[in-house]
């Protein structure tokens, strides 16, 4: 049985006061054993660590640099993220690739650094609209996952997120059939390099996940959870998603 994960990506949203309010509202709404991972902006990590102490919320960061320390103005290392309370780290989010020119090679360096430090990477891959229209989705996913994991030994400490770029923040969610096809394909690509362990790696769907579409996505055999952006900013909306995933 693969682990089911629901991950919030808060991107560049929320002040300390807003995060505090969110946690106050969110925790009482969580059903019994429901759990979630939240990736807040780095400025909120320590505060979130205190706010979430004793709860079933685990924290992650949205990005790291691959060196342990050094003169890299503006960057944080995996070690620093762990030190501030993170257990997970997104790598290769499409917004990092698109706006900050992150290549698959850089994603592999960051993923390697995360694993080495003991931070669990959630490696994001996905095709853009033109690639899907041109029928290149499966090839892009194949090339991208292999390049993003290049040199990384098989490990159960890693999660993959399939995030079609055209579905992120657009309200245009992939159909469960399309998401399942892409994720089953990613699992087969992973098996090319990691063999049988591929069957044990959680693969999440991300892109306009909302309380009203999460059930249909999670009903697909290969979809092990969700990476949620916009809908994770509201305590009620995110709690509805997390509770559905638990039921
Ligand atoms: P979205 O973002 O849920 O707002 O589409 C998902 C993501 O970027 O991880």
Average pLDDT over residues 40-64: 96
Give me the residues paired with residue 88 across strands: 60, 120
| Greatest Cα pair distance in the chain | 48
Q: Compute the distance between CA of residue 9 and CA of residue 200 in angstroms, rounded to an integer.
A: 23
What does the pLDDT look like over 186-206, one tens digit per residue?
A: 999 999 999 999 999 999 999
For residue 164 and ligand 1, the question of a CB distance below 6 A is answered with no
Look at residue 79 and tell me whether its pLDDT is greater than 80: yes
pLDDT bin (cut points 50, 70, 90) of residue 53 is very high
| Angle at the Cα of 103 from the Cα atoms of 99 and 105, rounded to 5 degrees | 155
Choosing from 9, 99, 126 the residue with most ligand 1 atoms within 8 A of its CB, the one to mutate for a pocket test is 9
Is 163 a known active-site residue? yes
């Amino acid at each position: 049985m693969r682990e089911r994960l629901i991950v919030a990506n808060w991107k560049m949203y929320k002040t300390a006061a807003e995060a505090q309010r969110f946690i106050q509202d969110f925790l009482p709404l969580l059903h019994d054993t429901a759990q979630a991972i939240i990736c807040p902006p780095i400025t909120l990590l320590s505060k979130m660590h205190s706010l979430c102490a004793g709860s079933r919320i685990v924290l992650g960061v949205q990005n790291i640099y691959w060196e342990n320390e050094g003169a890299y103005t503006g960057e944080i290392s995996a070690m620093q993220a762990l030190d501030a309370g993170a257990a997970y780290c997104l790598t290769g989010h499409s917004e990092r690739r698109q706006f900050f020119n992150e290549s698959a090679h850089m994603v592999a360096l960051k993923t390697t650094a995360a694993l080495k430090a003991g931070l669990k990477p959630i490696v994001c891959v996905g095709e853009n609209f033109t690639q899907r229209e041109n029928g290149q989705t499966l090839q892009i996913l194949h090339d991208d996952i292999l390049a993003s994991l290049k040199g990384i030994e098989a490990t159960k400490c890693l999660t993959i997120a399939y995030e079609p770029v055209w579905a992120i923040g657009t309200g245009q969610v992939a159909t469960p059939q399309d998401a399942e096809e892409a994720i089953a394909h990613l699992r087969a690509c992973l098996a090319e390099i990691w063999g049988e362990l591929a069957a044990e790696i959680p693969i999440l769907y991300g892109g306009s996940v909302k309380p009203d579409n999460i059930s249909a996505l999670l009903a697909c055999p290969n979809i092990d959870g969700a990476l949620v952006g916009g809908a994770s900013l509201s305590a009620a909306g995110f709690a509805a998603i997390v509770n559905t995933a638990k039921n």
